């Protein structure tokens, strides 16, 4: 932690590398640094892509540059494990500068503005950096301000409100779960795009299992249990992929969790949560003793307000090639891209090799020959010791690795998948993925 108190909004922004300011663009000078490839973002996508490029053997010292203001790099999928009391947040982060190969130039700065017509960017300190190819992968922002009163509730130690969605808030989740002995527990999920759409209910299932083991919740007798559980989601279903949604709905009913569908959390005041309904007029209020809140998320402002963005504010790239639809030397993958798939680390394992292959082909004047099919995955914890391993591609079509290998149905939670989620994925992430040597279902890269 930093040696001084900061607001949640500021600290979350720093942790997620989303603090950006704009600078007035000026012509790039001959003394400004220039690189063959500039990668915006030192998160999962940025590190995987920059190191895969480096490992191609086609780049010399400082041909590749990474730009990111963050001090720390976080394994964000692990924050669910922190919220469930299974790991500490400290073991899931490393200093960012130590993860970047010395052959890559690292600018520990914020981005100010893009000048894609002139092939340079302006840093927040007003320095210019030019490029031959640009990869934009800064992730997305977590906007606490989208829920009135959330920042204050998260900062209050005894509020009963917590969230797994930032480094600074995830450590509050499990103590808050443990503290609840009776009352109403609400778990929220917003409408719209968020990181890992299964995470809001992952933490719910872990909390339910904890309270069940503690004798505080009995799915066969919810009315007689000290704790009542509700899942309030801005979506009309439990999950976006029909196959897995059906299984999760079955679990919800089996475990007697109240489903509040199309309930979008918009405000917190004391122990009252206010939800918006689809018509935009009706508001529903619910009393709670425990609330796990998930705010809305979106592209960083410096991307959203740039010429690179589509109408929704994401980097406007081709769904298959990851190349920008207007600027042929601009590429994007990960959460900031317009790729219409769930925003997960697993998606990046499939996106990064496609982007890298096509960028290298483009540099050599060749046709792009790699295609991304929308593959993504959500290892969805359904209790301590079991995970439903959702894997799918564009169109919500299942693409199950273990189903193909062993003929099993991955919609059924399994203990083997739990060990992948808890142990293997965090290990392979820091040992291989951020180093550019892991491609998910395709295994290790040369």
Classify each residue of 389-427 as buried b or exposed e, where b means 16 or more C-beta atoms within 10 Å of its C-beta: bbbbbbebebbbebeeeeeeebbebbeebbeebbeebbe
- The gap from C-alpha 39 to its chain's centroid, in whole angstroms, comes to 18
Of all helices (H) and strands (E), which one includes residue 391? strand 386-393
Set 49, 66, 153, 196: catalytic member: 196
Residues 6+ apart with CB under 8 A from 281: none
Beta strands in 143-299 (DSSP E): 161-162, 183-189, 227-233, 258-261, 264-269, 272-276, 283-287, 290-292, 297-298
CB of 63 closer than 8 Å to CB of 35: yes
Give the whole-angstrom CA distance, residue 16 versus residue 262.
Answer: 28
- From the list 351, 352, 358, the residue with the least C-alpha distance to 375 is 351
Cα torsion 311, 234, 183, 245: sign? negative
CB of 152 closer than 8 Å to CB of 176: no
- From the list 74, 53, 64, 12, the residue with the least C-alpha distance to 300 is 12
Q: Are strands 128-136 and 330-332 parallel, antiparallel or unpaired?
A: parallel
CB of 44 closer than 8 Å to CB of 337: no
Of all helices (H) and strands (E), which one includes residue 35? strand 34-40
Q: Is 170 a catalytic residue?
A: no
Among all chains, which residue has been given the structure tokens 């402002």?
A: 301
Classify each residue of 309-346 as buried b or exposed e, where b means 16 or more C-beta atoms within 10 Å of its C-beta: beeebbbbbbbbbbbbeebebbbbbbbbbbbebbbbbb
Set 378, 387, 389, 445: catalytic member: 378
Give the whole-angstrom CA distance, residue 108 versus residue 186.
Answer: 39
Q: Is 196 a catalytic residue?
A: yes
Give the whole-angstrom CA distance, residue 45 versus residue 68.
Answer: 12
Residues marked as catalytic: 196, 378
């Amino acid at each position: 932690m930093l040696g001084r108190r900061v607001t949640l909004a500021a600290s979350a922004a720093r942790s997620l590398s989303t603090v950006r300011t704009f600078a007035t663009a000026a012509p790039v000078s001959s003394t400004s640094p220039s690189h063959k490839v500039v990668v915006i973002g030192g998160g999962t996508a940025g590190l995987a892509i920059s190191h895969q490029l480096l490992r191609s053997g086609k780049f010399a010292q400082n041909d590749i540059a990474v730009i990111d203001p963050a001090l720390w790099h976080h394994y964000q999928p692990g924050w669910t494990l922190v919220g469930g009391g299974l790991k500490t947040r400290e073991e899931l982060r490393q200093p960012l500068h130590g993860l970047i190969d010395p052959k890559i130039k690292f600018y520990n700065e914020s981005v100010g503005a893009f000048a894609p017509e002139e092939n340079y960017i302006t840093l927040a300190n007003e320095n210019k950096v030019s490029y031959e190819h640009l990869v934009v992968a800064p992730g997305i922002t977590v906007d606490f301000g989208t829920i009135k009163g959330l920042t204050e509730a998260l900062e209050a130690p005894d509020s009963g409100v917590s969230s797994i969605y930032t480094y600074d808030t995830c450590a509050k989740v499990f103590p808050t779960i443990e503290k609840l002995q009776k009352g109403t527990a609400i778990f929220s999920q917003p409408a719209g795009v968020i990181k890992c759409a299964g995470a809001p209910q992952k933490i719910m299932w872990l909390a339910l299992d904890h309270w069940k083991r503690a004798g505080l919740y009995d799915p066969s007798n919810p009315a007689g249990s000290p704790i009542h559980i509700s899942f309030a989601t801005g979506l009309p279903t439990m999950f976006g992929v029909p196959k897995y949604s059906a299984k999760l709905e079955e679990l919800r009913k089996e475990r007697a969790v109240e489903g509040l569908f199309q309930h979008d959390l918009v405000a917190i005041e004391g122990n009252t949560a206010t939800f918006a309904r689809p018509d935009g007029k009706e508001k529903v209020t619910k009393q709670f003793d425990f609330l796990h809140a998930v705010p809305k998320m979106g592209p960083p402002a410096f991307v959203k307000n740039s010429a690179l963005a589509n109408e929704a504010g994401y980097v406007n790239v081709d769904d298959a090639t990851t190349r920008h639809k207007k600027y042929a030397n601009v590429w994007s993958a990960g959460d900031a891209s317009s790729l219409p798939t769930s925003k997960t680390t697993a998606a990046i394992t499939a996106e990064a090799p496609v982007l890298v292959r096509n960028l290298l082909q483009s540099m050599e004047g060749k046709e792009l020959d790699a295609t991304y099919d929308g593959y993504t995955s959500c290892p969805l914890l359904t209790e301590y010791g079991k995970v439903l391993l959702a894997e799918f591609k564009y169109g919500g079509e299942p693409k199950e690795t273990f189903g193909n290998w062993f003929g099993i149905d991955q919609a059924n939670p399994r203990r083997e998948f739990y060990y992948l989620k808890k142990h293997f994925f965090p290990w392979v992430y820091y040992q291989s993925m951020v180093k550019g040597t892991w491609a998910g279902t395709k295994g290790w890269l040369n």
